[in-house]
Amino acid sequence: MKINNLSKNIFLKNGTIYDPVKQKSIKGDILITNGKINGIGDTIAPKGADIIDCTNLIITHGFCDIHAHFREPGREDKETLQTGAKAALAGGFTRVCVMPNTNPPLDDPESIRFIVEKADETPIYIHPIGAITKGQKGKEIAEMGAMKSEGAVAFSDDGIPLQNAYVMRLALEYAGMINIPIINHAEDVLLRNEGVMNESVISTKLGLSGNPDIAESIMIHRDLQLAQSTNSTLHIPHVSTKKGVEAIKEYKSVFQKISAEITPYHLYFNDELMINYNTNLKTAPPIRTENDRKALIGALKDGVIDCIATDHAPHTIEEKEAPFELAPFGMIGLESCFGAVNKVLVQESGMKIESLIDLLTIKPRKIMGFEQDLFAKGAIAEITVIDPKSSWIFTKDDIYSRSINSPYIGEELFGKIIYTIVKGSVVKI
């Protein structure tokens, strides 16, 4: 990765420019002057401009990830805002929302301000998500209004499901009043019990305790019903099951303030791959059956699910090398995201690449209320340049996260990020 400061004039030459707002692709050039969009399409390079050849490449909005764990404060040995930002750049992400399950959790205005100030020093835009409850203990609602004033863009106790339906109802009511989404890690903890992988014939065969699909869908049903009854905005993270998709589809037909995301790992892997007890595949919610995976692909294709979010969740090698039952849940996902989802959705499932780009750009921005019209004249440049057709093997050298364990290592991915342009820098990946 090579980070260069933007010169006065940058000229992205001869690319296919896809604008997710206009839903249109054109051949042409983009001129960026003093970090802002100056011309798109038929534009001329001023004398002395830095020219970047984009022949056979797609130029589009910078990707936006609304679900990542950068572990700061408290677990800087796993990730920091700086290392997380580098991983994001490598994946074409210019904007990332970070979850509050840090140590201590982001549950008050001061901790939100801490992230906002530290984020300023990183090469991307980082937005904190505040905790729903104090200490993420699931009991007392945190100071939502004050956290929003400091820059919190949503509220979540992610990592820990909000089990108490009364507290969830209150949270939705309060968040509804200040017009901000609630994101609940949807797993019924009692039903999940000690489950460490998807409950199926495979878990039985491996002798590992199973986490049934209904642990997710029951909680999703509850949350959808609470959102509808309070008329509040609910975002459902990392949907992993066919039953979860069906619940969302049912409610979306009658209630609009719902959105949902799917992770690359739930799209890419299935539970049959657990046969060698690979702890890099241990996630929450777990990687499900092939039948579920196919339903998730279908849900993105027909628009039931709104976007892709990585749930980038770094852990140290030592932790992940523990026996399967003891290893922590989660994997990194920013660097491998595009190559993985482009392979599954576009190459293997026939989705149009423009639709995939929407799932990584305009749709997640809409959920969080971020500026969407990034190609408007005068907009601050936030651009990703993609080679949509390159096949490449994902290796440790492609990882910029502090956590270098990933089940994608050795996998052949399809489509690669070539440049990420954001906050005054051109980054060659």
Please report where in the chains the tokens 């190559």 appear, as a residue: 339
Angle at CA of residue 126, ends 232 and 314, nearest 5°: 95
- Contact call for residue 261 and Zn ion (CB under 5 A): no
State the nearest-atom distance from the C-beta of 96 to Zn ion, in Å: 12
In terms of CB distance, is 188 or 311 closer to Zn ion? 311
Helical ranges in 20-123 per DSSP H = 81-90, 109-120
State the nearest-atom distance from the C-beta of 219 to Zn ion, in Å: 11
Three-class secondary structure of residue 93 per DSSP = strand
Q: Are 233 and 246 in contact (CB under 8 A)?
A: no
In terms of CB distance, is 79 or 311 closer to Zn ion? 311
Per CB under 5 A, the segment of 17-25, 179-187, 240-248, 366-374 that binds Zn ion is 179-187
DSSP character string of 137-167: -SSSB--HHHHHHHT---EE-TTS----HHH
- Contact call for residue 188 and Zn ion (CB under 5 A): no
Per CB under 5 A, the segment of 146-154, 213-221, 227-235, 303-311 that binds Zn ion is 303-311
**Amino acid, res. 207:** G
CA distances from 165 to 237, 265, 296 (A): 17, 29, 26
Query: The tokens of 234 are what?
Result: 């609910």
State the nearest-atom distance from the C-beta of 258 to Zn ion, in Å: 17
In terms of CB distance, is 143 or 261 closer to Zn ion? 261
What's the CA gap between 419 and 429, in Å, rounded? Answer: 6
Backbone angles phi, psi at 336, to 5 degrees: -90, -5
State the nearest-atom distance from the C-beta of 159 to Zn ion, in Å: 6
Name the residue with the smallest CB distance to Zn ion. 185
In terms of CB distance, is 19 or 72 closer to Zn ion? 72
CA distances from 184 to 5, 144, 261, 298 (A): 39, 15, 12, 23
- Contact call for residue 213 and Zn ion (CB under 5 A): no
Which of 311, 373, 387, 397 is the catalytic position? Answer: 311
State the nearest-atom distance from the C-beta of 17 to Zn ion, in Å: 33
- Contact call for residue 311 and Zn ion (CB under 5 A): yes
- Contact call for residue 158 and Zn ion (CB under 5 A): yes
State the nearest-atom distance from the C-beta of 71 to Zn ion, in Å: 11
- Contact call for residue 185 and Zn ion (CB under 5 A): yes
In terms of CB distance, is 221 or 312 closer to Zn ion? 312
- H/E run at residue 76: none
Please give the DSSP secondary-structure letter assigned to residue 130.
B
Q: Is 223 one of the annotated active-site residues of the chain?
A: no
Q: Are 89 and 429 in contact (CB under 8 A)?
A: yes
- Contact call for residue 65 and Zn ion (CB under 5 A): no
Residues that bind Zn ion (rule: CB under 5 A) add up to a total of 3
Backbone angles phi, psi at 74, to 5 degrees: 110, -40
Residues that bind Zn ion (CB under 5 A): 158, 185, 311
User: Which residues are part of the catalytic machinery?
Assistant: 311
